[in-house]
Structure 1
Amino acid sequence: MPSVTVRNVPEEVHRAIRVRAARHGRSVEAEMREILGDSVKPAHRLKLGSLLAEIGRKVKLTDEELVLFENMRDKNPARSASLE
């Protein structure tokens, strides 16, 4: 797993993270991972599968149509791109 070093963090910011970590029962490092993760992966992001299911409900697909789509779906995992 990659690691990151953050230099010149203001003392008041570091103190606030320490307090927040203590409230959550985590280390400062674990709290910082949580903060970073929350900031780049918001909880309310739109997921493609949910969007497609919502579209299907709106157009009122029948069970038979859903089975057709499921049978057409490629169930093999995608191959990695070759950069050579």
Structure 2
Amino acid sequence: MTQLIINNIDDNITKGLQARAAEHGRTVEEEARAILGDAVRPAPAAALPSGLGTRITKRFQGIGLSEQEAAAFELHGEEIKPAEFD
């Protein structure tokens, strides 16, 4: 494993890291390792934004659309036809 040394850390950051480590029952080193791991780990698929239609539906769900009207925003598996200009 690689060692990482960080110099000149502000005292408030050190105190905050110590407090956070105590809250999680870890050493300061373990807490710093967990924070760094969380910062660089890719987000799980569930946390990624949903499709455009789902986001539109959520945005406007309070305006009185029925389930059928709201479902019209989702086009999963449907062929998208280009606009015709005659």
Structural RMSD (CA): 1.9
In 2: Cα distance, 1:43 partner to 1:25 partner:
25
Q: What letter is aligned with 1:44?
A: P
Percent identity at matched positions?
40
Q: What letter is aligned with 1:3?
A: Q
| Structure 1: tracts of 5 or more residues without a match | 47-57, 60-84
1:44 is matched with: 44
| Structure 2: tracts of 5 or more residues without a match | 47-75, 78-86
Shift of 1:45: 4.9
Aligned residues: 48
Other structure's SS at 1:26 match: coil
Larger radius of gyration: 2
Q: Does 1:29 align with 2:29?
A: yes
Go from structure 1 to structure 2 and tell me whether the alpha carbon gap of 1:10 and 1:39 turns closer, same or farther (over 3 Å shift): same
**Structure 2-normalised TM-score?**
0.50
